[in-house]
Amino acid sequence: MRELTNGLLFPEGPVALPDGSVALVEIARKTVTVVEADGTKRVLAEPGGGPNGLAMGSDGAFYVTNNGGFEFHTDGDGVRPTVQATAYSGGRLERIDRATGAVQALYTGTGNGHALRGPNDLVVDRQGGIWFTDLGKRRARDLDYGGVYYAAADGSAITEAVHPFLTANGIGLSPDETVLYVAETEGARLWAFDLDAPGRIRKHPWPSPHGGRLVYTAGGVYERFDSLAVEASGNICVATLMNGGISVIAPSGELVQFVPMPDRYTTNICFGGPDLRTAYITLSQSGRLVAMDWPRAGLKLNFLNG
């Protein structure tokens, strides 16, 4: 493991860029930040609220899932999010101009009269459409149901594809884009949604709670699932909280590997480098971005990695 930089305020959403830099969000700083290859940092944009996930769109802009803000607890181990921010500014999906840092809110609602609560993570398909999750927000005595949404990058249309979904977090597509994977935080479950077409889910009947099929669930240890990335082989790499590491799960449901990391809030992973065999991992409680050689190649993302 190689530490690329530290001093970040709860980093998430890493995107490895072709020039060797890594863009990410700092949820507690409320910024989109670029970590250069030499470890120096620069703020690209200040969307406020709680920028949570980051991806590059078909137009070369960054797209951000903004959860509207958390309260944070700081102790000797670092920083961690707790409940909905007192100054909660509402959930939204945003576009960031990479040249100017200008922020544009594309969606604040679900398309059926409800507000987005806590958008969390996103992935862009081959058509340029954006799949994203809404984790919901937790308050002292209650929490929201979240969901999964499909949105046009130009702000013209959004579809609520899955609802309700309790704590929908990481999201990714299989290499052939026929399966959408969603990580459930509090149950430490990985779900698969079969796709009939871009933006269209073929739902499984009851007893599925939302139309997905269960791929994997953790057992025997307290874990929570966060964001994810997919390998070229089709394995799903899920950032695993509390146990602190990356759970590599086969599409058939076996745990291929668990890679322990020195932070209970190991929140995200992405792949970069010329052969996509470098894993960039956010260690959020301790505020670090690290890199390590990965035994298998990551999946080439649409509109990125050349």
For residue 149, being part of any structural domain is answered with yes
Asked if 150 and 130 count as a contact pair (C-beta separation under 8 A), the reply is: yes
* pLDDT recorded at residue 220: 87
Number of H helices, E strands in the chain: 0, 27
Q: How many CB atoms are located within 10 Å of the residue 306 CB?
A: 6
Which parts of the chain register pLDDT below 70? 305-306
For residue 101, being part of any structural domain is answered with yes
Query: Structural domain tally of the chain?
Result: 1
* pLDDT recorded at residue 305: 59
The CATH code of the domain that includes 46 is: 2.120.10.30
Give the range of the structural domain holding residue 157, as residue numbers without chain letter: 2-293
For residue 175, being part of any structural domain is answered with yes
Model pTM score: 0.98
For residue 298, being part of any structural domain is answered with no
For residue 25, being part of any structural domain is answered with yes
* pLDDT recorded at residue 258: 98
Q: Could you tell me where the beta strands, DSSP code E, fall in 97-251?
A: 103-107, 119-124, 130-134, 146-151, 158-165, 168-173, 179-184, 189-197, 200-202, 213-217, 224-230, 236-241, 245-249
For residue 89, being part of any structural domain is answered with yes
For residue 226, being part of any structural domain is answered with yes
Between the CA of residue 18 and those of 122, 158, 250, 303, what are the distances in Å?
A: 20, 30, 28, 11
Asked if 21 and 35 count as a contact pair (C-beta separation under 8 A), the reply is: yes
* pLDDT recorded at residue 306: 46
For residue 265, being part of any structural domain is answered with yes
H-run or E-run covering 194: strand 189-197
